[in-house]
């Protein structure tokens, strides 16, 4: 009298399904650095650009703001 008892049938889980795609933290991709739109440097942004003095640009960096 050795009857095998199997697992019961699985019922559907309530709620929103879990996503299968990898999240950003799991991808381990390099973070894109911010770039200055005036001189194209990654050391600062356009608000802190040393070429922009008092609202005007010095040199050939781009348009004045």
Phi, psi of 49, deg, nearest 5: -70, 130
pLDDT at position 3 is 87
pLDDT tens-digit profile of 21-62? 766 665 555 677 888 999 999 888 888 898 887 766 665 555
Residue 51's Cβ-count burial label (10 Å; 0-12, 13-18, 19+) is middle
Please report the pLDDT score of residue 20 as a whole number: 75
What does the pLDDT average to over 10-26?
76
Residue 23: which residues within 8 A CB-CB, separation 6 or more? none
Distance CA 36, CA 45 (A): 4
Max avg pLDDT among 6-10, 11-15, 18-22, 53-57: 6-10
pTM of the predicted protein model:
0.38
Residue 18: half-sphere exposure toward Cβ, Cα within 13 Å: 4
């Amino acid at each position: 009298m050795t009857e095998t008892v199997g697992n019961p049938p699985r019922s559907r889980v309530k709620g929103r399904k879990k996503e299968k795609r990898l999240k950003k933290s799991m991808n381990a991709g390099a973070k894109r650095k911010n770039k200055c739109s005036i001189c194209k440097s990654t050391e600062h942004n356009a608000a802190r650009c040393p070429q922009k003095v008092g609202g005007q640009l010095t040199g050939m960096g781009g348009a004045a703001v």
